Amino acid sequence: MMRAIAIVLLLAAGTASTADARKPFITKPDTFTATLSNNTPLVFGMGVDEAQRALGTPFTYVRGRPGNEIFLTFRDIGGSGLTLHRDRLYLQFRKGRLAGWKADWGENWMWR
């Protein structure tokens, strides 16, 4: 009796592994990254126009020589309904291409 149960278990394990091996590998989109507000990411090497299109906001010149500028943009990320929340984003361009960016959340006046 024990021998028959062992054989049945071994056969069941063998058929399950061969059935899984025949299934195609399918990946589902990550729900976390699909719901992010920045669904068009910034990429190093983008031009100024490409970066403006990716963020959907106009840039304000801060400083720098032509081709090596620093721009500022405000991203409206919503809020609680009572207050709007706008974050500053600084973008550094070198030779006309995006070389880096830094978000500045400023100080939270509510927790002083």
pLDDT at position 3, please? 77
Structure tokens given for 40: 């068009």
Is residue 62 a part of any domain in this protein?
Answer: yes
Residue 102 main-chain phi, psi, to 5 deg: -145, 130
Is residue 68 a part of any domain in this protein?
Answer: yes
Q: What is the pLDDT of residues 43-57, one digit of tens each?
A: 899 999 999 998 888
Is residue 12 a part of any domain in this protein?
Answer: no
Q: What is the pLDDT of residues 79-106, one digit of tens each?
A: 555 666 667 889 999 999 999 988 876 6
Is residue 92 a part of any domain in this protein?
Answer: yes
Asked if residue 43 lies in contact with residue 100, where contact means CB atoms within 8 angstroms, the answer is no
